[in-house]
């Protein structure tokens, strides 16, 4: 949305509390000034963009869902959404990018995960998932690993898998 001074709490609130950092139950928001949203639309992809990505084959589509959902072996949690994945996409399961304590793996470990999935970090990447949430984890991991041309398909599988005439693949990720 155009925020310039943002950060990710690596490990989340659970790790913050475990490390005994201060928290409070009372709100401390101080509203002052004004904020005018300025979305960075170059970081987002639409359904139309995704159709072009598939047709051109120049963009690597990384799906953050579990291998079984990616393969179409599980029913999708949303009614009317077919199982499977976007044609030509790669499965990079978001949980493989996170340590047991909820922190992001190191840059070297992340590069190894992307290498194993045959992702070229120097080429354009679009991340996707079920609804656009865990795609952000893959987006961040790719950034940490050294990718610079990254965007996110916010409609993700909830949109793609519900389209009547969408091209869909099933089966495991390609080796």
Q: How far is CA 4 from the centre of its chain?
A: 20
Alpha-carbon dihedral of residues 69, 72, 75, 80, nearest 10 degrees? 110
According to DSSP H, which parts of the chain are helical? 12-18, 47-56, 67-71, 107-116, 135-145, 156-160
Is 129 among the residues known to form the active site?
yes
* Sequence-ordered list of residues with C-beta below 8 angstroms from that of 81, at least 6 positions apart, any chain: 157, 158, 161, 162
Annotated catalytic residue, options 129, 138, 140, 152: 129
Residues known to be catalytic: 129
């Amino acid at each position: 949305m155009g925020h310039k001074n943002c950060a990710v709490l690596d490990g989340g609130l659970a790790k913050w509390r475990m490390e005994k950092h201060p928290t409070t139950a009372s709100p401390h928001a101080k509203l002052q000034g004004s904020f005018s949203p300025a979305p960075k639309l170059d970081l987002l992809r639409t359904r139309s963009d995704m159709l072009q990505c598939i047709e051109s084959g120049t963009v690597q589509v990384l799906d953050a869902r579990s291998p079984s959902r990616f393969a179409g072996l599980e029913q999708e949690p949303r009614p009317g959404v077919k199982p499977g994945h976007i044609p030509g996409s790669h499965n990079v399961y978001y949980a493989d990018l996170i340590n047991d304590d909820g922190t992001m793996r190191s840059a070297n470990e992340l590069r190894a995960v992307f290498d194993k999935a045959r992702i070229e970090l120097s080429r354009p990447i679009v991340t996707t998932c079920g609804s656009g949430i865990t795609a952000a984890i893959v987006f961040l991991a790719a950034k940490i690993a050294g990718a610079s041309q990254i965007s996110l398909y916010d409609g993700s599988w909830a949109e793609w898998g519900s389209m009547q005439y969408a091209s869909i693949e099933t089966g495991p990720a390609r080796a």
